[in-house]
Structure 1
């Protein structure tokens, strides 16, 4: 369901899942909630073992040299981290807002073909610590790591800290 977006008007939340998350439905909601998402070339999302993995098409993210545009890749890592935290919260039965607090990236090699982007907690204890903070204070943050691969080659590594805001 598409809504006309207006600045300053929040997009309606996706209802919390009753059981396992439908990542296709989540992606459709995401494309409607954040208009630029549809242009980012996400072809598939999956979750396993605490990781959120995206398959992405290079073509919509080309730069003038015919390789991946750094700004698009940076936007993808930031969005993926936001999605990781949002999906994690949804699994916990929580509907809270998430924002990026800090982000950085290192470009290691040109992105020359379709690629995959993997997001995981930077520290194994991160999700447990976030859950504890949310239960104690209603807010918290988590550090995530993103790795972008073309085949077996690591082309980009990014880190971000994502904050979960208290309910209004």
Structure 2
């Protein structure tokens, strides 16, 4: 059980240049952020530069029987945090990441199980973040999240994620 005001221990960094094993990271995430177990995440995987979650709709229903906007918003925000954290970890950085700004645009109701993909908003985003980390010890990246239910794009989100300086 997590205690208020007590940070959760970090997961050990993967070997240099390697990515975290997705299920091990999700298991740690569920301990670090208790609500993660309730989000219906079935799978996490990388598809090139995109981090993708497959999710069940049932735990995220609203009163109308479709996807609850608050849950979907939390998922897009958390997926961006995961993208940034995993990108840093692959490069040997154990840093705190926070969402600095986020927005969502709901396009269609979510009526079945769905997937969310998160990738840099700009192709040069990761390179720019790496340069800022090297020169300033901190940085920011803008990420885009897209939620798909079958072939329908239901939600577009954007978020700026700040990487805080080393302690």
Same fold (TM over 0.5): yes
**RMSD of equivalent CA atoms:** 0.6
TM-score by length of 1: 0.97
Q: Which runs of 5+ in 2 are unaligned?
A: none
Inter-partner Cα distance in structure 1 for 2:137 and 2:146: 30
Query: Which residue of the partner structure matches residue 38 of structure 2?
Result: 39
Find out whether 1:12 has 2:9 as its counterpart: yes
Query: Which residue of the partner structure matches residue 72 of structure 1?
Result: 71
Alignment of 1:9-158 (within 5 A): 9-18=6-15, 19-158=18-157
TM-score by length of 2: 0.98
Give the superposition deviation at 1:49: 1.2
Give SS of 2:67's match: coil
Q: Which runs of 5+ in 1 are unaligned?
A: none
Inter-partner Cα distance in structure 1 for 2:127 and 2:51: 17
- 4+ runs of 1 displaced by more than 6 Å? none
Give SS of 2:159's match: strand
How many matched pairs? 165
Q: Deviations over 1:42-86 (max 9, x none)?
A: 000001211000000000000000000000000000000000000
Give the superposition deviation at 1:20: 3.4
Inter-partner Cα distance in structure 2 for 1:148 and 1:140: 26
Inter-partner Cα distance in structure 2 for 1:128 and 1:23: 23
Inter-partner Cα distance in structure 2 for 1:58 and 1:50: 25
Give the superposition deviation at 1:132: 0.2
Inter-partner Cα distance in structure 1 for 2:80 and 2:162: 10
